Structure 1
Protein backbone atom coordinates (compact mmCIF):
# COMPACT_ATOMS: atom_id res chain seq x y z
CA UNK A 1 0.00 0.00 0.00
CA UNK A 2 2.77 2.33 0.97
CA UNK A 3 4.65 1.44 -2.19
CA UNK A 4 1.58 2.33 -4.25
CA UNK A 5 1.37 5.70 -2.51
CA UNK A 6 5.06 6.33 -3.12
CA UNK A 7 4.57 5.41 -6.76
CA UNK A 8 1.74 7.94 -7.06
CA UNK A 9 3.86 10.66 -5.44
CA UNK A 10 6.72 9.94 -7.83
CA UNK A 11 4.32 10.10 -10.76
CA UNK A 12 2.97 13.40 -9.45
CA UNK A 13 6.48 14.80 -9.01
CA UNK A 14 7.36 13.71 -12.52
CA UNK A 15 4.24 15.41 -13.87
CA UNK A 16 5.12 18.61 -11.98
CA UNK A 17 8.54 18.56 -13.61
CA UNK A 18 7.02 18.33 -17.05
CA UNK A 19 7.05 21.34 -19.41
CA UNK A 20 3.28 21.23 -19.76
CA UNK A 21 2.70 21.59 -16.03
CA UNK A 22 5.21 24.43 -15.68
CA UNK A 23 3.80 26.25 -18.71
CA UNK A 24 0.27 25.90 -17.37
CA UNK A 25 1.31 27.12 -13.93
CA UNK A 26 3.10 30.14 -15.44
CA UNK A 27 0.08 30.96 -17.61
CA UNK A 28 -2.21 30.74 -14.58
CA UNK A 29 0.01 33.06 -12.53
CA UNK A 30 0.25 35.56 -15.42
CA UNK A 31 -3.52 35.43 -15.87
CA UNK A 32 -4.15 36.08 -12.18
CA UNK A 33 -1.64 38.95 -12.19
CA UNK A 34 -3.30 40.50 -15.25
CA UNK A 35 -6.72 40.15 -13.63
CA UNK A 36 -5.43 41.77 -10.44
CA UNK A 37 -3.92 44.69 -12.37
CA UNK A 38 -7.13 45.17 -14.35
CA UNK A 39 -9.21 45.12 -11.18
CA UNK A 40 -6.91 47.64 -9.50
CA UNK A 41 -7.01 49.91 -12.57
CA UNK A 42 -10.81 49.81 -12.69
CA UNK A 43 -10.97 50.51 -8.96
CA UNK A 44 -8.47 53.38 -8.95
CA UNK A 45 -9.51 55.08 -12.22
CA UNK A 46 -12.59 56.82 -10.73
CA UNK A 47 -10.51 57.94 -7.74
CA UNK A 48 -7.81 59.35 -10.03
CA UNK A 49 -10.39 61.12 -12.20
CA UNK A 50 -12.06 62.54 -9.09
CA UNK A 51 -8.72 63.81 -7.80
CA UNK A 52 -7.95 65.46 -11.16
CA UNK A 53 -11.39 67.09 -11.15
CA UNK A 54 -10.86 68.37 -7.61
CA UNK A 55 -7.43 69.74 -8.56
CA UNK A 56 -8.88 71.46 -11.63
CA UNK A 57 -11.69 73.06 -9.68
CA UNK A 58 -9.24 74.26 -7.06
CA UNK A 59 -7.11 75.87 -9.78
CA UNK A 60 -10.04 77.38 -11.68
CA UNK A 61 -10.28 80.50 -9.52
CA UNK A 62 -6.54 81.00 -9.93
CA UNK A 63 -6.43 80.76 -13.73
CA UNK A 64 -9.44 83.11 -13.90
CA UNK A 65 -7.64 85.49 -11.55
CA UNK A 66 -10.61 85.56 -9.19
CA UNK A 67 -13.26 86.32 -11.84
CA UNK A 68 -16.70 84.95 -10.94
CA UNK A 69 -18.54 82.34 -13.00
CA UNK A 70 -22.00 80.81 -12.95
CA UNK A 71 -21.65 77.56 -14.89
CA UNK A 72 -19.99 74.21 -14.27
CA UNK A 73 -16.96 75.04 -16.36
CA UNK A 74 -15.54 71.53 -16.75
CA UNK A 75 -18.84 69.81 -17.53
CA UNK A 76 -18.57 70.40 -21.31
CA UNK A 77 -15.58 70.81 -23.56
CA UNK A 78 -14.53 71.09 -27.15
CA UNK A 79 -11.55 69.09 -28.28
CA UNK A 80 -9.15 70.46 -30.85
CA UNK A 81 -5.90 69.03 -32.18
CA UNK A 82 -3.00 71.21 -33.24
CA UNK A 83 0.56 70.16 -34.02
CA UNK A 84 -0.27 66.58 -32.95
CA UNK A 85 -1.38 67.76 -29.52
CA UNK A 86 -4.93 67.60 -28.21
CA UNK A 87 -6.43 70.42 -26.19
CA UNK A 88 -9.75 70.76 -24.40
CA UNK A 89 -11.47 74.14 -24.43
CA UNK A 90 -14.01 75.08 -21.77
CA UNK A 91 -16.29 78.12 -21.81
CA UNK A 92 -16.78 80.27 -18.71
CA UNK A 93 -20.15 82.03 -18.42
CA UNK A 94 -21.66 84.64 -16.15
CA UNK A 95 -25.12 84.61 -14.56
CA UNK A 96 -26.74 85.96 -17.74
CA UNK A 97 -25.21 83.19 -19.86
CA UNK A 98 -22.62 85.42 -21.49
CA UNK A 99 -19.09 84.19 -22.13
CA UNK A 100 -16.47 85.89 -19.98
CA UNK A 101 -13.44 83.63 -20.30
CA UNK A 102 -12.12 80.42 -21.79
CA UNK A 103 -10.08 77.74 -20.07
CA UNK A 104 -7.77 75.50 -22.08
CA UNK A 105 -6.44 72.22 -20.74
CA UNK A 106 -3.42 70.68 -22.39
CA UNK A 107 -0.17 68.87 -21.82
CA UNK A 108 3.40 68.99 -23.08
CA UNK A 109 6.33 66.64 -22.70
CA UNK A 110 8.85 68.00 -20.22
CA UNK A 111 12.20 66.68 -19.04
CA UNK A 112 10.88 63.56 -17.31
CA UNK A 113 7.28 63.17 -18.44
CA UNK A 114 4.06 64.86 -19.37
CA UNK A 115 3.20 68.26 -17.86
CA UNK A 116 -0.55 68.97 -17.66
CA UNK A 117 -1.71 72.56 -17.34
CA UNK A 118 -4.68 74.93 -17.42
CA UNK A 119 -4.73 78.30 -19.16
CA UNK A 120 -7.32 80.98 -18.36
CA UNK A 121 -7.97 83.47 -21.17
CA UNK A 122 -10.37 86.43 -21.29
CA UNK A 123 -12.48 87.25 -24.34
CA UNK A 124 -9.79 89.66 -25.57
CA UNK A 125 -7.35 86.75 -25.81
CA UNK A 126 -5.27 87.83 -22.82
CA UNK A 127 -4.06 85.21 -20.36
CA UNK A 128 -5.47 85.64 -16.87
CA UNK A 129 -3.56 82.74 -15.38
CA UNK A 130 -1.67 79.50 -16.01
CA UNK A 131 -1.42 76.69 -13.49
CA UNK A 132 0.15 73.23 -13.53
CA UNK A 133 -2.24 70.34 -12.83
CA UNK A 134 0.39 67.61 -12.51
CA UNK A 135 3.93 66.74 -13.59
CA UNK A 136 6.89 64.50 -12.80
CA UNK A 137 9.69 67.04 -13.21
CA UNK A 138 12.84 66.99 -11.07
CA UNK A 139 12.28 68.20 -7.49
CA UNK A 140 14.25 71.34 -6.74
CA UNK A 141 14.70 72.17 -10.43
CA UNK A 142 11.82 71.53 -12.80
CA UNK A 143 9.17 71.63 -10.09
CA UNK A 144 9.53 75.43 -10.02
CA UNK A 145 6.70 75.45 -12.55
CA UNK A 146 4.44 74.94 -9.50
CA UNK A 147 3.21 78.17 -7.95
CA UNK A 148 3.89 76.69 -4.51
CA UNK A 149 7.60 76.40 -5.41
CA UNK A 150 8.09 79.55 -7.48
CA UNK A 151 6.12 82.53 -8.87
CA UNK A 152 7.48 81.77 -12.36
CA UNK A 153 4.13 80.60 -13.77
CA UNK A 154 2.68 84.08 -13.13
CA UNK A 155 4.89 85.41 -15.93
CA UNK A 156 2.17 84.28 -18.37
CA UNK A 157 -0.34 86.78 -16.96
CA UNK A 158 -1.30 89.52 -19.45
CA UNK A 159 0.42 87.78 -22.36
CA UNK A 160 -1.49 87.14 -25.59
CA UNK A 161 -0.78 86.05 -29.13
CA UNK A 162 -1.01 89.70 -30.16
CA UNK A 163 1.40 91.19 -27.63
CA UNK A 164 3.96 88.38 -27.46
CA UNK A 165 5.70 87.86 -30.81
CA UNK A 166 8.41 85.56 -29.41
CA UNK A 167 7.07 82.71 -27.28
CA UNK A 168 10.06 81.10 -25.67
CA UNK A 169 12.49 81.30 -22.78
CA UNK A 170 14.99 84.14 -22.77
CA UNK A 171 17.80 81.71 -23.56
CA UNK A 172 16.03 81.14 -26.90
CA UNK A 173 15.29 84.82 -27.45
CA UNK A 174 11.80 84.68 -25.93
CA UNK A 175 9.99 86.59 -23.19
CA UNK A 176 10.01 84.09 -20.33
CA UNK A 177 12.66 83.29 -17.75
CA UNK A 178 14.25 79.86 -17.50
CA UNK A 179 15.45 78.13 -14.35
CA UNK A 180 19.09 77.84 -13.38
CA UNK A 181 20.12 74.32 -14.33
CA UNK A 182 16.73 73.47 -15.84
CA UNK A 183 15.78 74.98 -19.19
CA UNK A 184 13.89 72.07 -20.72
CA UNK A 185 10.95 72.24 -18.28
CA UNK A 186 10.08 75.95 -18.63
CA UNK A 187 10.70 75.73 -22.37
CA UNK A 188 8.15 72.90 -22.57
CA UNK A 189 5.53 74.81 -20.58
CA UNK A 190 5.97 77.96 -22.68
CA UNK A 191 5.67 75.93 -25.86
CA UNK A 192 2.61 74.09 -24.59
CA UNK A 193 0.83 77.29 -23.52
CA UNK A 194 1.68 78.95 -26.84
CA UNK A 195 0.17 76.12 -28.87
CA UNK A 196 -2.82 76.05 -26.51
CA UNK A 197 -3.42 79.73 -27.26
CA UNK A 198 -3.20 79.03 -30.98
CA UNK A 199 -5.63 76.11 -30.61
CA UNK A 200 -8.11 78.40 -28.83
CA UNK A 201 -7.79 81.06 -31.54
CA UNK A 202 -8.32 78.46 -34.26
CA UNK A 203 -11.35 77.05 -32.45
CA UNK A 204 -12.97 80.48 -32.06
CA UNK A 205 -12.25 81.39 -35.68
CA UNK A 206 -13.77 78.10 -36.82
CA UNK A 207 -16.89 78.81 -34.78
CA UNK A 208 -17.30 82.19 -36.45
CA UNK A 209 -16.01 84.28 -33.54
CA UNK A 210 -13.34 86.90 -33.87
CA UNK A 211 -10.07 85.25 -32.96
CA UNK A 212 -8.59 86.91 -29.88
Structure 2
Protein backbone atom coordinates (compact mmCIF):
# COMPACT_ATOMS: atom_id res chain seq x y z
CA UNK A 1 0.00 0.00 0.00
CA UNK A 2 2.79 2.39 0.95
CA UNK A 3 4.55 1.65 -2.31
CA UNK A 4 1.37 2.39 -4.21
CA UNK A 5 0.98 5.75 -2.43
CA UNK A 6 4.62 6.68 -3.13
CA UNK A 7 4.19 5.70 -6.75
CA UNK A 8 1.06 7.86 -6.98
CA UNK A 9 2.86 10.83 -5.39
CA UNK A 10 5.71 10.52 -7.88
CA UNK A 11 3.23 10.30 -10.73
CA UNK A 12 1.33 13.38 -9.48
CA UNK A 13 4.57 15.33 -9.05
CA UNK A 14 5.63 14.35 -12.55
CA UNK A 15 2.30 15.46 -13.99
CA UNK A 16 2.43 18.78 -12.11
CA UNK A 17 5.96 19.40 -13.25
CA UNK A 18 5.11 18.57 -16.84
CA UNK A 19 2.07 20.87 -16.70
CA UNK A 20 4.23 23.69 -15.33
CA UNK A 21 6.77 23.24 -18.13
CA UNK A 22 4.06 23.21 -20.80
CA UNK A 23 2.45 26.35 -19.33
CA UNK A 24 5.83 28.05 -19.22
CA UNK A 25 6.54 27.23 -22.86
CA UNK A 26 3.07 28.41 -23.89
CA UNK A 27 3.57 31.71 -22.04
CA UNK A 28 6.94 32.26 -23.73
CA UNK A 29 5.45 31.52 -27.14
CA UNK A 30 2.54 33.90 -26.49
CA UNK A 31 4.83 36.74 -25.40
CA UNK A 32 7.12 36.13 -28.37
CA UNK A 33 4.20 36.12 -30.81
CA UNK A 34 2.88 39.36 -29.35
CA UNK A 35 6.34 40.94 -29.53
CA UNK A 36 6.71 39.90 -33.16
CA UNK A 37 3.23 40.94 -34.31
CA UNK A 38 2.90 44.22 -32.40
CA UNK A 39 4.99 46.28 -34.89
CA UNK A 40 3.05 44.73 -37.78
CA UNK A 41 -0.29 45.62 -36.16
CA UNK A 42 0.91 49.15 -35.40
CA UNK A 43 2.07 49.55 -39.00
CA UNK A 44 -1.28 48.33 -40.30
CA UNK A 45 -3.17 50.77 -38.09
CA UNK A 46 -0.93 53.61 -39.29
CA UNK A 47 -1.59 52.64 -42.92
CA UNK A 48 -5.34 52.50 -42.31
CA UNK A 49 -5.30 55.92 -40.67
CA UNK A 50 -3.33 57.48 -43.52
CA UNK A 51 -5.73 55.93 -46.02
CA UNK A 52 -8.66 57.52 -44.16
CA UNK A 53 -7.00 60.91 -43.78
CA UNK A 54 -8.05 62.18 -47.21
CA UNK A 55 -11.65 61.22 -46.47
CA UNK A 56 -11.89 62.82 -43.02
CA UNK A 57 -10.37 66.04 -44.40
CA UNK A 58 -12.79 65.95 -47.34
CA UNK A 59 -9.95 66.44 -49.82
CA UNK A 60 -8.43 69.47 -48.05
CA UNK A 61 -4.75 69.91 -48.96
CA UNK A 62 -2.13 69.89 -46.20
CA UNK A 63 1.66 69.98 -45.93
CA UNK A 64 2.60 68.34 -42.63
CA UNK A 65 2.85 64.75 -41.47
CA UNK A 66 -0.43 64.88 -39.59
CA UNK A 67 -0.18 61.82 -37.34
CA UNK A 68 3.36 62.60 -36.19
CA UNK A 69 2.48 65.87 -34.42
CA UNK A 70 -0.38 65.05 -32.10
CA UNK A 71 -1.13 65.36 -28.41
CA UNK A 72 -3.32 63.30 -26.13
CA UNK A 73 -5.90 65.01 -23.96
CA UNK A 74 -8.47 63.80 -21.46
CA UNK A 75 -11.99 65.14 -21.46
CA UNK A 76 -14.79 63.97 -19.17
CA UNK A 77 -13.22 60.58 -18.62
CA UNK A 78 -12.30 59.90 -22.25
CA UNK A 79 -8.95 60.14 -24.01
CA UNK A 80 -8.56 61.84 -27.41
CA UNK A 81 -5.60 62.34 -29.73
CA UNK A 82 -5.56 65.74 -31.43
CA UNK A 83 -3.55 66.25 -34.62
CA UNK A 84 -3.09 69.68 -36.23
CA UNK A 85 -3.40 69.89 -40.01
CA UNK A 86 -1.15 72.61 -41.46
CA UNK A 87 -0.64 74.40 -44.77
CA UNK A 88 2.59 75.44 -46.50
CA UNK A 89 3.16 78.34 -44.11
CA UNK A 90 2.70 76.20 -41.01
CA UNK A 91 -0.71 77.60 -40.11
CA UNK A 92 -3.31 75.24 -38.66
CA UNK A 93 -6.14 74.83 -41.17
CA UNK A 94 -7.95 71.90 -39.57
CA UNK A 95 -7.77 69.24 -36.88
CA UNK A 96 -8.02 65.48 -36.89
CA UNK A 97 -9.34 63.87 -33.71
CA UNK A 98 -8.84 60.20 -32.94
CA UNK A 99 -11.19 58.76 -30.34
CA UNK A 100 -12.77 55.59 -29.07
CA UNK A 101 -16.28 54.85 -27.88
CA UNK A 102 -17.68 51.61 -26.51
CA UNK A 103 -20.17 50.06 -28.94
CA UNK A 104 -22.42 47.02 -28.80
CA UNK A 105 -19.65 44.44 -29.20
CA UNK A 106 -16.56 46.37 -28.15
CA UNK A 107 -14.67 49.62 -28.72
CA UNK A 108 -15.27 51.63 -31.89
CA UNK A 109 -12.21 53.63 -32.96
CA UNK A 110 -12.80 56.60 -35.24
CA UNK A 111 -11.28 59.71 -36.85
CA UNK A 112 -12.98 63.10 -37.11
CA UNK A 113 -11.77 65.91 -39.37
CA UNK A 114 -12.75 69.39 -38.16
CA UNK A 115 -12.10 72.78 -39.77
CA UNK A 116 -11.05 75.89 -37.85
CA UNK A 117 -14.69 76.95 -37.42
CA UNK A 118 -15.47 73.72 -35.59
CA UNK A 119 -17.39 72.20 -38.49
CA UNK A 120 -16.91 68.52 -39.30
CA UNK A 121 -15.19 67.80 -42.60
CA UNK A 122 -15.60 64.05 -42.34
CA UNK A 123 -15.80 61.05 -40.00
CA UNK A 124 -14.47 57.55 -40.65
CA UNK A 125 -14.27 54.35 -38.59
CA UNK A 126 -10.79 52.93 -38.01
CA UNK A 127 -11.82 49.66 -36.40
CA UNK A 128 -14.77 47.99 -34.66
CA UNK A 129 -16.23 44.59 -33.82
CA UNK A 130 -19.92 45.36 -34.35
CA UNK A 131 -22.39 42.81 -35.72
CA UNK A 132 -21.94 42.11 -39.46
CA UNK A 133 -24.98 43.13 -41.46
CA UNK A 134 -26.25 45.41 -38.68
CA UNK A 135 -23.75 47.51 -36.77
CA UNK A 136 -21.12 47.43 -39.50
CA UNK A 137 -23.17 49.98 -41.45
CA UNK A 138 -21.03 52.59 -39.71
CA UNK A 139 -18.38 51.70 -42.30
CA UNK A 140 -18.41 53.88 -45.42
CA UNK A 141 -18.01 50.76 -47.56
CA UNK A 142 -21.27 49.36 -46.16
CA UNK A 143 -23.48 52.46 -46.19
CA UNK A 144 -23.51 56.25 -46.48
CA UNK A 145 -24.63 56.72 -42.87
CA UNK A 146 -21.28 58.10 -41.71
CA UNK A 147 -21.60 60.99 -44.20
CA UNK A 148 -24.41 62.37 -42.04
CA UNK A 149 -21.78 63.98 -39.81
CA UNK A 150 -20.43 66.21 -42.60
CA UNK A 151 -20.87 69.95 -41.90
CA UNK A 152 -22.17 69.29 -38.39
CA UNK A 153 -20.89 71.40 -35.51
CA UNK A 154 -21.66 72.10 -31.87
CA UNK A 155 -23.56 75.23 -32.89
CA UNK A 156 -25.67 73.92 -35.76
CA UNK A 157 -26.65 70.61 -34.14
CA UNK A 158 -28.40 71.21 -30.81
CA UNK A 159 -29.17 67.58 -29.99
CA UNK A 160 -26.55 64.95 -30.75
CA UNK A 161 -28.63 61.79 -30.72
CA UNK A 162 -30.29 59.28 -33.02
CA UNK A 163 -33.86 59.95 -34.10
CA UNK A 164 -35.16 57.31 -31.70
CA UNK A 165 -33.83 59.52 -28.89
CA UNK A 166 -35.17 62.74 -30.43
CA UNK A 167 -32.02 63.67 -32.36
CA UNK A 168 -31.16 64.23 -36.02
CA UNK A 169 -29.17 61.09 -36.79
CA UNK A 170 -30.63 57.95 -38.33
CA UNK A 171 -30.37 54.63 -36.54
CA UNK A 172 -30.15 51.16 -38.07
CA UNK A 173 -33.01 48.69 -38.02
CA UNK A 174 -32.19 46.19 -35.30
CA UNK A 175 -29.02 48.00 -34.24
CA UNK A 176 -29.59 51.26 -32.41
CA UNK A 177 -26.73 50.94 -29.93
CA UNK A 178 -23.98 51.15 -32.56
CA UNK A 179 -25.01 54.44 -34.24
CA UNK A 180 -25.90 55.86 -30.83
CA UNK A 181 -22.36 55.12 -29.66
CA UNK A 182 -20.74 56.71 -32.71
CA UNK A 183 -22.87 59.85 -32.38
CA UNK A 184 -21.95 60.10 -28.71
CA UNK A 185 -18.26 59.61 -29.45
CA UNK A 186 -18.09 62.17 -32.27
CA UNK A 187 -20.02 64.71 -30.21
CA UNK A 188 -17.64 64.27 -27.30
CA UNK A 189 -14.66 64.59 -29.65
CA UNK A 190 -15.93 67.98 -30.82
CA UNK A 191 -16.46 69.07 -27.23
CA UNK A 192 -12.94 67.97 -26.33
CA UNK A 193 -11.43 70.01 -29.18
CA UNK A 194 -13.53 73.07 -28.30
CA UNK A 195 -12.51 72.79 -24.65
CA UNK A 196 -8.85 72.54 -25.62
CA UNK A 197 -9.07 75.63 -27.84
CA UNK A 198 -10.94 77.60 -25.18
CA UNK A 199 -8.05 76.96 -22.83
CA UNK A 200 -5.57 78.55 -25.20
CA UNK A 201 -4.27 75.51 -27.06
CA UNK A 202 -4.35 76.30 -30.77
1:131 is aligned to 2:162: no
2:198 alignment partner, SS class: helix
User: Post-superposition shift, 1:16?
Assistant: 8.5
TM-score computed with the length of structure 2 as normaliser = 0.94
Matched, 1:89 2:95: no
- TM-score, scaled to structure 1: 0.90
Q: Which residue of 2 aligns with 1:11?
A: none
* Alpha-carbon offset, residue 27 of structure 1: 1.0
SS at structure 1 position matched to 2:50: helix
Gaps of 5+ in 2: 1-6
Q: Is residue 16–residue 22 contact of structure 1 (8 Å, CA) maintained in 2?
A: no
Count of paired positions:
199
Please tell me whether Structure 1 or Structure 2 has the larger radius of gyration of its CA atoms.
1
Q: Any gaps of 5 or more consecutive residues in structure 1? A: 1-13
CA-CA distance at 1:82 after TM superposition? 1.7
Question: Would you say 1:60 and 2:40 are equivalent positions?
Answer: no
Partners of 1:134 and 1:44 in 2: CA distance = 18
3-state SS of 1:18 partner: helix
How far does residue 175 in structure 1 lie from its aligned partner after superposition? 1.1
- Tell me the equivalent position of 2:169: 176
Mapped to 1, the partners of 2:102 and 2:139 lie a distance apart of: 16
Q: RMSD value over aligned CA atoms?
A: 1.7
Q: Where do residues 102-113 of structure 1 align in structure 2 (5 Å cutoff)?
A: 102-113=95-106
Which residue is 1:4 aligned to? Answer: none
